[in-house]
Structure 1
Amino acid sequence: MSQPEAFGRYRVIRRLGSGSFATVWLAQDDLLNYPVAIKVLAENWAHQMDIQHRFLEEARILRQTDSTWLVAVHDVDVLPDGRPYMVMTYADQGSVADLVQRGQLPLDEALRLLTEIGQGITVLHNHGTIHRDIKPSNVLLQSSPVGQRVLVADLGFAKSIDEASGFTAAAGTPGYMSPEQSIPGGDLDVRSDVYSLGAVAYELITGRPPSRPPVRTAPGRIRPGLPPALDELILSALSVDRESRPADAKTFTDRVRAIRMAPDLPRAEQWWRRYRMPWHRVGALVASCALVLAGTTAAAGHPGAELTTVHSRTHGLRLGVPSAWTEEIHTDLEALVAGDGGRVAAGLLVATDADAWRSTDRSAYGVYAAVLQEPLSPERLADAAPCSGAPNERGFGDARWRGTVWEWPECGVGAFTSASVRAPDTDTSVYLEIRQPDYRPGLVNEIIGALRSG
């Protein structure tokens, strides 16, 4: 759907994301001067009463539980076309999935997150509810006076424990849902959520989700040096036989907390290990590029996407690129729009895989930038992108740049963005391409905001 101006008194700022059933928008409550997230039922489900019921049931559960560890619902209303929407807590620091995409987390941080996620699920279980779709992207992160706070979200598949024998359809996300969830009509209980907690734990610890069940590779085989008790706990949670799993989310969480508090737990990792890079790939570029790790800053709203500054003297460009993407640097790549009158010079690419940047599977993530000799037509920029469908078009403006951004939320295995921006009162224009694993327009804004030319 196109961006609306407002939902009731809530002024819409930008889209945060979308799924099969709903779209989430960032909005401002001007009356209370406070940002909120607004979740709106998708237009194609407007007349499906069972989907509307599920949507409103999610709001009721979150409102009734009203927990520190769950996203809060502040208000519910209905649009003129009959679609319901809920006004929720805005998680300004992205999701746990963002953290995992950055790279391996320090063990203590991973266990802290897992403990807080478990506390959120424990609250749901105490209120007689099974979540049924626990995964990193459904766990949000919010700033708080004492640091980062976990908020369990997206209860679209949640059901009452009392109705556990009456589920008529499979629900959940492959890779995170328990084996019994894939069987329509299966008899579920809270141990289905324990399996999902085990899958999230596996990914937080190792950086990748577990294999299909039965899971036989212990996290310690992927990340040596883990406490044996942690391997045992995660593998037991991922057991196909639910009788072998911890009894509930509280039991699982208590064991995670005990492991984290053990005096012999490996502590903080050295910064150079956490942010290490394959230096042999960039060594030949020292003459033309300077990679400045000291310029790393936390990207506002996306703690999982710290920006590393890459400075190319050849191109007169300085890029801010998420640290996880700075594996390779290419200094002489032609832009997608290079054929448009020859008005784009070869540019600078910083990506996970320079060779795969133009591949059909589009599996590389990164940032490309080139200085424009003169502004390009919006039609040419939009037409050049290797993505199907019409893009989301929006303006961009900050103290340094003005321009237009075209975004394809789904393009191959991730999202693709092209942009043309110009510095006010100058002739300097820059063309950018940004590939990311998922659709995060806020991160795009931060990358453009970090751009420097000259």
Structure 2
Amino acid sequence: MSQPEAFGRYRVIRRLGSGSFATVWLAQDDLLNYPVAIKVLAENWAHQMDIQHRFLEEARILRQTDSTWLVAVHDVDVLPDGRPYMVMTYADQGSVADLVRRGQLPLDEALRLLTEIGQGITVLHNHGTIHRDIKPSNVLLQSSPVGQRVLVADLGFAKSIDEASGFTAAAGTPGYMSPEQSMPGGDLDVRSDVYSLGAVAYELITGQPPSRPPVRVAPGRIRPGLPPALDALILSALSVDREDRPGDAKTFTDRVRAIRMSPDLPRTEPWWGRYRMPWRRFGGLAVASGVLALAVTASLGAPGVSLTTVRHTAQDVRVDVPSVWAREFNADQEARPAVAQAGAGPGLLAATDTDQWHATDRPSYGVYATVLPGSPDLRRVGDTDPCAGRPQERPVRSEQWEGTLWEWPECNGNGAFTSVAVHPPDTPRTVYMEIRQPDYRPDVVDTIIDNVRLQ
């Protein structure tokens, strides 16, 4: 297909790629001044109604799930020749397959990607859908204010779980699809996707896809030094007998997350480096005279860390915030009701989007801080929103601070959330903070706490 000039109002820039069923183009929405990806059904399938139905079903699933971890569909239309096309999120950093081809990934980075891929598949499973074609090239990467974001894509083979027993044709990609997918009429369930997640995990960790099933070579034999629990998890996901696999994508993802959180995990890539992006619009931080002052600090002992010092002079508090989170500032941010009831007034907020700080869907990342007189009892804060479930509680003890923090490693599918209440020894003033991260890193929380100062 030659390059068209436009699809509707979307001006075509170049072709991004093509497959058996569709071609994807990079286009520009001149009305909104925003790049998009446009997926167009291939010409040779234009009159195949079952293929058109599958194409539109992919768009419906993505539109209905509308998840942070899946490619978003913004619009659907039909060309004059009858071929449908969908307007989607443009992933400007390519795919996970591109990333793997550049060389072996640091272990923490590989597990971070795997966790986010698993979260995307969990969303699909909760929606009642099996993906059936999970592989590195179907996982896209997009720049975001907090760094690289994973987007699960290409649901062309996706089907309803309710229809799993009625599949009549094999579907998927050899090397990544489960053994039962290669048998027409196989009775599939979500554990087929778990097998594919195991195959993707194998490749992310070792740099190469697994062998044909049964897979007998553990990733740790190719990449020595891996935690035994990781070897065991990946091999169980790749079991020929699906009864031996983790029960669903959430179970698999939770186990990956637990391995990643282990203090014994070898770490070679600083977490901060993943989220240090060259955002030119960083100058959007507001400065209110007499209320705050901003200064970009040095790395404070962590190579590559860029922190922004935010001061609230009315409360005499200074907080060092990762610069990539501090795109906006509010010096008069209202506290959550449970915190306000404990005596907290408005405080400072440095975040990627201050308007979204209290949002339940796609909240922003950043740090909120306020100073309370005395030593109020903030234990009940851990029993309140914004996260479901009981938090993990741990004490804070240092030369400068003592107190408690409450952590939700997974806050309603929107990253990690931490509440902190600390005070200097023998000083009747409490600093209360809330820290929301893209994913759970207690060392980041500890770094922020260590650099808080009362003036």
**Fold in common (TM above 0.5):** yes
2:84 pairs with 1:84 = yes
Aligned partners of 1:156 and 1:198: how far apart in 2? 20
- Quote the residue 1:191 is aligned against: 191
SS in 2 for 1:141: strand
Alpha-carbon offset, residue 205 of structure 1: 0.0
Aligned partners of 2:91 and 2:278: how far apart in 1? 14
- Quote the residue 2:50 is aligned against: 50
- Quote the residue 1:98 is aligned against: 98
CA offsets, 1:23-45, max 9 Å, x none?
A: 00000000000000000000000
2:128 pairs with 1:131 = no
Alpha-carbon offset, residue 209 of structure 1: 0.0
Task: Give the counterpart letter for 1:136 in structure 2.
Answer: P
- Quote the residue 2:170 is aligned against: 170
2:147 pairs with 1:147 = yes
Alpha-carbon offset, residue 146 of structure 1: 0.3
- Quote the residue 1:260 is aligned against: 260
RMSD: 1.4
CA offsets, 1:379-419, max 9 Å, x none?
A: xxxxxxxxxxxxxxxxxxxxxxxxxxxxxxxxxxxxxxxxx
Higher relative contact order (CA 8 A, sep 6+): 1
Aligned partners of 1:203 and 1:35: how far apart in 2? 30
Aligned partners of 2:99 and 2:177: how far apart in 1? 21
Structure 1 residue ranges without an equivalent (≥5):
271-297, 301-454
Aligned partners of 1:182 and 1:111: how far apart in 2? 28
SS in 2 for 1:259: helix
Aligned partners of 1:148 and 1:227: how far apart in 2? 25
Task: Figure out how many residues of one structure are paired with residues of the other and give that number.
Answer: 273
Aligned partners of 1:73 and 1:166: how far apart in 2? 28
- Quote the residue 1:330 is aligned against: none
**CA distance 1:299–1:204, shift in 2 (3 Å):** farther
Task: Give the counterpart letter for 2:93 in structure 1.
Answer: Q
Alpha-carbon offset, residue 180 of structure 1: 0.1
Aligned partners of 2:33 and 2:73: how far apart in 1? 17
**CA distance 1:167–1:100, shift in 2 (3 Å):** same
Structure 2 residue ranges without an equivalent (≥5):
271-276, 280-455
Aligned partners of 1:91 and 1:269: how far apart in 2? 23
Task: Give the counterpart letter for 2:209 in structure 1.
Answer: P
SS in 2 for 1:59: helix
Contact 2:6-2:12 at 8 Å conserved across structures: yes
SS in 1 for 2:155: coil
Task: Give the counterpart letter for 1:9 in structure 2.
Answer: R
Alpha-carbon offset, residue 299 of structure 1: 13
Alignment map for 1:403-414 (pairs within 5 Å): none
Alignment map for 1:4-403 (pairs within 5 Å): 4-268=4-268
Aligned partners of 1:299 and 1:88: how far apart in 2? 24
Contact 2:29-2:35 at 8 Å conserved across structures: yes
CA offsets, 1:67-95, max 9 Å, x none?
A: 00000000000000000000000000000
Aligned partners of 2:180 and 2:278: how far apart in 1? 40
Aligned partners of 1:198 and 1:235: how far apart in 2? 7
Task: Give the counterpart letter for 2:184 in structure 1.
Answer: P
SS in 2 for 1:203: helix
Task: Give the counterpart letter for 2:67 in structure 1.
Answer: S
Alpha-carbon offset, residue 269 of structure 1: 5.8
CA offsets, 1:154-199, max 9 Å, x none?
A: 0000000000000010000000000000000100000000000000
Aligned partners of 1:111 and 1:119: how far apart in 2? 12
**CA distance 1:192–1:8, shift in 2 (3 Å):** same
CA offsets, 1:94-123, max 9 Å, x none?
A: 000001001100000000000000000000
Task: Give the counterpart letter for 1:171 in structure 2.
Answer: A
Task: Give the counterpart letter for 2:168 in structure 1.
Answer: T
CA offsets, 1:351-398, max 9 Å, x none?
A: xxxxxxxxxxxxxxxxxxxxxxxxxxxxxxxxxxxxxxxxxxxxxxxx
SS in 1 for 2:133: coil
Alpha-carbon offset, residue 216 of structure 1: 0.2
Aligned partners of 1:93 and 1:69: how far apart in 2? 15
Aligned partners of 1:88 and 1:142: how far apart in 2? 12
Aligned partners of 1:166 and 1:75: how far apart in 2? 30
SS in 1 for 2:195: helix
CA offsets, 1:207-265, max 9 Å, x none?
A: 00000000000000000000000000000000000000000000000000000000000
Task: Give the counterpart letter for 1:186 in structure 2.
Answer: G
**CA distance 1:299–1:52, shift in 2 (3 Å):** farther
Aligned partners of 1:82 and 1:38: how far apart in 2? 16
Alpha-carbon offset, residue 204 of structure 1: 0.1
SS in 1 for 2:111: helix
SS in 2 for 1:26: strand
Aligned partners of 2:78 and 2:64: how far apart in 1? 20
Aligned partners of 1:192 and 1:70: how far apart in 2? 19
Aligned partners of 2:10 and 2:104: how far apart in 1? 38
Task: Give the counterpart letter for 2:215 in structure 1.
Answer: V
Aligned partners of 2:185 and 2:47: how far apart in 1? 26
Aligned partners of 2:44 and 2:145: how far apart in 1? 40
Aligned partners of 1:67 and 1:14: how far apart in 2? 27
**TM-score using structure 2 length:** 0.59
**CA distance 1:209–1:82, shift in 2 (3 Å):** same
Contact 2:23-2:42 at 8 Å conserved across structures: yes
Contact 2:109-2:269 at 8 Å conserved across structures: no
Contact 2:108-2:269 at 8 Å conserved across structures: no
